[in-house]
């Protein structure tokens, strides 16, 4: 998502590089192109217009920073205004002083409310808050069954009464959660194919009955501008307090994320970045703005790294590097851990400068990564620990067992040997990790 917008903005700012001075005419020309890029990314007309006007107003009256070139000054202003367009500071979930805190999820049918209910419950559980999942969608039996399945997967209670009044279900669920001493109640409400009075009346009644601390709209980022219209419709009737934007890992143009806050005033609080129950992340406007402008997202990369690598693992790995005892077993383990952080392509784009440096058609072939894993798994334990014993017959056997070619095996071993040489050169330089086998040269990119 945002790849096209990022490319367009990058090209615009690149043309400014090297110019000694930017006049009002130059700024007007640049902002005309920025406006077109935003509209092509499916940003609402009003949001794009206000954004461009804000940047122009600041850029024309801004003194060039002493440490920045005119092009860098414009880039900084665009970055600041983009953060504001996305909501400014991070908006966290709110909780009641007296539990249980009631969080009500709303949205159209098919937007993913039930799945997000499970994801949100798991996220809160990891933070030490036990939740009750409540099936308020009594019109779609599959929704109740799905919620029960999710509840079992994350070991949390699900409150449901098939055929009962949704308002009564919500009220009774809150009372039950209070009796059980649970900290949070998450209501999975019914949806429709489109916004209608019947749906809104039911949601208004549930809101009045349980007084939720949060009313979160679940919106599909892939629907583009339509997601903004849906958000506006829900906000006008029931007053949403925030948005969960799903499918942010998709290839949509991203206009919904750039427009929802401007149109409704409600911040995006969480984003869905995959199908797994753990694929729900807090939304940081500054980090997304940085990624859109090709400046990477180091903080998110660090957080993802910390979620899969413990401090003890990091120290153990550092010791193996220092002693030159890093084996193919270790490499396989690191490869599997990194895969838990997301796709290699997404990880590379979080590193500042990399997204701009990569060729436009660069693509990481995740299947090729599986090929590397298959090669290592086809080796015996002794071979993984001492690759020097891999003669021709052994390499042929490994290639046959992994469904690859001997040349693939040779390439992997060569890159691994080069990594070990680098380890030896780096010796006792603390805080620095040597490069692992070059995935690009191993045929990993498409």
Which tokens sit at 41?
């990314």
Cβ neighbours around 130 below 10 Å, total: 18
Length of the chain: 446
Q: Which residue has the higher pLDDT, 320 or 111?
A: 111
Average pLDDT over every residue of 306-311 = 60
pLDDT at 355: 54
Cα(308)–Cα(34) distance, integer angstroms = 38
If you average pLDDT over every residue of the chain, what do you get?
A: 79
Q: Going from the N-terminus, what domains does the chain have, and what CATH number goes with each? A: 3-85 (1.20.120.140), 101-295 (3.40.50.300), 301-426 (1.10.260.30)
- Write down the pTM of the prediction: 0.64
Q: Report the percentage of the chain scoring pLDDT > 90.
A: 29
At residue 20 the predicted structure's pLDDT band, cuts being 50, 70 and 90, is low
Write down the residue that tokens 């979930």 correspond to: 93
Cα 58 to Cα 76, 88, 110, distances in angstroms: 11, 17, 42
What pLDDT, in 10s, does the model give residues 172-220?
Answer: 999 999 999 999 999 999 887 778 888 889 999 999 999 999 999 998 8
What are the backbone angles phi and psi of residue 271, rounded to the nearest 5°?
-130, 140
Both structure tokens of 86 = 């996305």
Confidence of residue 345 (pLDDT cuts 50, 70, 90): low
Identify the bridge partners of residue 364 per DSSP, sorted by sequence position.
445
Cα 75 from Cα 73, distance rounded (Å): 5
Residues 374-411: pLDDT tens digits?
999 999 989 988 888 999 999 999 999 999 999 999 98
Q: Comparing C-alpha atoms, which of 176, 212, 213, 186 is closest to residue 95?
A: 213
Q: Strands of 268-272's sheet, edge to edge?
A: 158-159, 131-135, 184-188, 101-106, 214-220, 242-246, 268-272, 280-282
Tell me the mean pLDDT in the region 325-347: 72
Residues 6 or more apart in contact with residue 429 via CB below 8 angstroms: none
pLDDT > 50? residue 67: no
Cα torsion for 435, 437, 441, 446, to the nearest 10°? -100
Stronger pLDDT, 180 or 305, i.e. the higher one: 180
SS3 350: coil
CB under 8 A, 24+ apart: contacts of 199-206? 200/237, 200/238, 202/166, 202/167, 203/104, 203/106, 203/237, 203/238, 204/237, 204/238, 205/167, 206/104, 206/136, 206/166, 206/167, 206/170
Section 20-38 average pLDDT: 80
Q: What is the pLDDT of residue 433?
A: 40
Which segments of 211-358 does DSSP mark as H helices, in order? Answer: 225-238, 255-264, 285-292, 298-308, 311-323, 328-339, 344-349, 354-357
- Provide mean pLDDT across the span 120-133: 94
Asked whether residue 222 carries a pLDDT value surpassing 50, the answer given is yes
Are the C-beta atoms of residues 58 and 77 closer than 8 Å to each other? yes
* pLDDT tens-digit series, residues 420-443: 666 556 544 444 443 444 444 444
For residue 282, the cross-strand partners are 270
Helix then strand then coil, % of the chain, to nearest 5:
55, 10, 35
The pLDDT of residue 444 is above 50:
no
pLDDT digits (tens, 9 = 90+) for 248-290: 766 556 667 777 888 888 899 998 888 889 889 898 888 787 7
User: What is the pLDDT at residue 301?
Assistant: 56
């Amino acid at each position: 998502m945002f790849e096209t917008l990022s490319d367009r903005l990058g090209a615009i700012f690149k043309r400014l590089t090297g110019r000694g001075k930017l006049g009002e005419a130059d700024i007007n020309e640049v902002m005309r192109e920025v406006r077109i890029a935003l509209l092509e990314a499916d940003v609402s007309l009003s949001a794009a217009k206000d954004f461009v006007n804000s940047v122009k107003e600041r850029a024309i009256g801004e003194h060039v920073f002493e440490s920045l070139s005119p092009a860098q000054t414009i880039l900084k202003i665009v970055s600041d205004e983009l953060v504001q367009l996305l909501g400014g500071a991070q908006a966290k979930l709110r909780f009641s002083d007296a539990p249980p805190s009631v969080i009500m999820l709303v949205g159209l049918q098919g937007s993913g409310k039930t799945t997000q209910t499970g994801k949100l419950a798991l996220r809160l559980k990891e933070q030490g808050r036990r939740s009750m999942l409540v099936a308020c969608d009594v019109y779609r039996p599959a929704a109740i069954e799905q919620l029960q399945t999710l509840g079992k997967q994350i070991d949390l209670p699900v409150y449901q009464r098939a055929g009962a009044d949704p308002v009564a279900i919500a009220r009774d669920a809150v009372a039950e959660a209070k009796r059980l001493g649970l900290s949070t109640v998450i209501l999975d409400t019914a949806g429709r194919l489109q916004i209608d009075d019947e749906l809104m009346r039911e949601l208004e009644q549930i809101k009045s009955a349980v007084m939720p601390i949060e009313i979160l709209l679940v919106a599909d980022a892939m629907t583009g501008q339509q997601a903004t219209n849906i958000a506006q419709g829900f906000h006008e009737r029931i007053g949403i307090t925030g948005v969960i934007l799903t499918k942010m890992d998709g290839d949509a143009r991203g206009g919904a994320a750039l427009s929802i806050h401007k149109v409704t005033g409600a911040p995006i609080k969480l984003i869905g970045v995959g199908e797994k129950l753990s694929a729900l992340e807090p939304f940081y406007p500054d980090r997304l703005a940085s990624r859109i402008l090709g400046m990477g997202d180091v903080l998110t990369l660090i957080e993802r790294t910390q979620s899969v690598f413990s401090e003890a693992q990091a120290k153990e790995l550092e010791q193996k590097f220092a002693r030159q005892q890093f084996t193919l077993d270790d490499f396989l383990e690191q490869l599997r851990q990194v895969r838990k952080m997301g796709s290699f392509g997404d990880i590379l784009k979080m590193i500042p400068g990399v997204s701009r440096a990569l060729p436009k058609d660069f693509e990481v072939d995740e299947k090729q990564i599986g090929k590397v894993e298959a090669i290592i798994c086809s080796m015996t334990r002794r071979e993984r620990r001492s690759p020097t014993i891999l003669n021709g017959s052994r390499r042929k056997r490994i290639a046959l067992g992994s469904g690859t070619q001997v040349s693939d095996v040779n390439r992997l071993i060569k890159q691994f040997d080069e990594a070990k040489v680098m380890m030896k050169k780096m010796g006792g330089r603390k805080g620095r990790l040597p490069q692992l086998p070059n995935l690009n040269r191993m045929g990993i990119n498409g």
